[in-house]
């Protein structure tokens, strides 16, 4: 005899077992969250009242002026192509040299800034603090500082880029080391291997692909930054662009802008190709 089922079951009883749980209902924000939202709203209102907001009228006026700039800029002036290319070469050399110095210094800095490889907690605190200082201060400010210290020219730009790269790579290098399997490190140490052998034989080979990928990103960032550093006297193509714009030589300025675009795009393409090759197509 067939057993009759109850057709008056609850909605929960009739719900399929594989149906996902309903999303959590909206909860009232905490006092801290409400205070943060209120402060953000206050900043937005204050910025809007102080003219930080974008005005539609200014956009329309600016579009007309931008059209005048394009009219004066075309066709690009190639009369000073030689000095422009030389300054562009100096800019790229600044970025490359600054990146190499920054990456080389970031490796020992990251080892002391990682919890599983630092020799002492004091080294960890100091290294992390130094990385934070390098990251939080913009590279343009570093360039101004080094211009005062070593004078005008590419040397100040190289030092500024190196410090900026140390802040960028030092952080990601240290994070990559901390993401390693602690069992591998403990196995090496328990076998009696000295710390130097652990670093050279385990940490660096394991983290090398991540280090290279991060270094390529740093080179891309340094190439873009080196253009701006010339505006404060740190050498490179930035000073050429600044002079051309100040003298209203927009056709010459467009030549410089196009040259910068080609170099930066070429570095980005090369960097992406190297990352794909090193990381096996995962980049």
pTM above threshold 0.85: no
The candidate with the shortest Cα–Cα distance to 91, out of 261, 224, 243, is: 224
For residues 91 and 238, is the Cβ–Cβ distance under 8 A?
A: yes
The CATH number given to 81-279 is 1.10.3720.10
pLDDT at 94 over 50: yes
Mean local confidence (pLDDT), 5-32: 60
Digit-coded pLDDT (tens) for 34-71 = 888 888 888 888 777 766 666 677 777 777 777 777 88
* 143 burial level (CB within 10 Å; 0-12, 13-18, 19+): buried
Least confident of 48-52, 86-90, 121-125, 229-233: 48-52
- Per the model's pLDDT, the better-predicted residue between 47 and 33 turns out to be 33
For residues 113 and 131, is the Cβ–Cβ distance under 8 A?
A: yes
Digit-coded pLDDT (tens) for 197-223 = 778 888 888 888 889 889 988 998 898
What pLDDT is recorded for position 1? Answer: 46
- Per the model's pLDDT, the better-predicted residue between 183 and 254 turns out to be 254
Which residue is listed with tokens 């393409």? 269
pLDDT at 283 over 60: no
* Measured torsion, CA atoms of residues 246, 249, 255, 261, in degrees rounded to the nearest 10: 30
pLDDT at 182 over 90: no
């Amino acid at each position: 005899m067939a057993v009759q089922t109850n057709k008056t079951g609850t909605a929960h009883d009739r719900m399929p077992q594989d149906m996902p749980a309903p999303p959590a209902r909206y909860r009232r924000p905490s006092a801290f969250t409400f205070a943060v939202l209120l402060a953000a709203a206050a900043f937005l209102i204050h910025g809007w009242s102080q003219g930080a907001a974008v005005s539609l009228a200014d956009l329309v006026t600016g579009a007309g002026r931008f059209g005048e700039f394009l009219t004066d800029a075309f066709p690009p002036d190639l009369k000073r192509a030689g000095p422009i290319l030389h300054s562009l070469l100096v800019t790229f050399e600044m970025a490359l040299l600054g990146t190499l110095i920054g990456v080389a210094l970031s490796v020992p800095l990251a080892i002391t800034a990682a919890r599983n490889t630092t020799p002492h907690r004091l080294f960890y605190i100091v290294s992390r603090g130094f990385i934070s200082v390098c990251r939080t201060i913009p590279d343009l400010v570093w360039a101004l500082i080094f211009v005062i210290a070593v004078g005008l020219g590419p040397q100040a730009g190289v030092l500024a880029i190196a410090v900026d790269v140390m802040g960028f790579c030092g952080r990601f290098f240290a994070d990559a080391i901390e993401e390693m399997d602690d069992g591998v490190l403990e196995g090496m140490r328990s076998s009696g291997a000295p710390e130097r052998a652990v670093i050279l034989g385990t940490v660096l080979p394991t983290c090398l692909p991540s280090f290279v990928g991060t270094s390529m990103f740093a080179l891309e960032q340094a190439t873009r930054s080196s253009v701006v550093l010339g505006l404060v006297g740190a050498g490179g193509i930035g000073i050429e662009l600044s002079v051309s714009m100040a003298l209203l030589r927009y056709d010459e300025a467009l030549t410089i802008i196009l040259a910068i675009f080609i170099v930066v795009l070429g570095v980005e393409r090369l960097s992406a190709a190297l990352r794909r090759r090193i990381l096996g197509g995962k980049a």
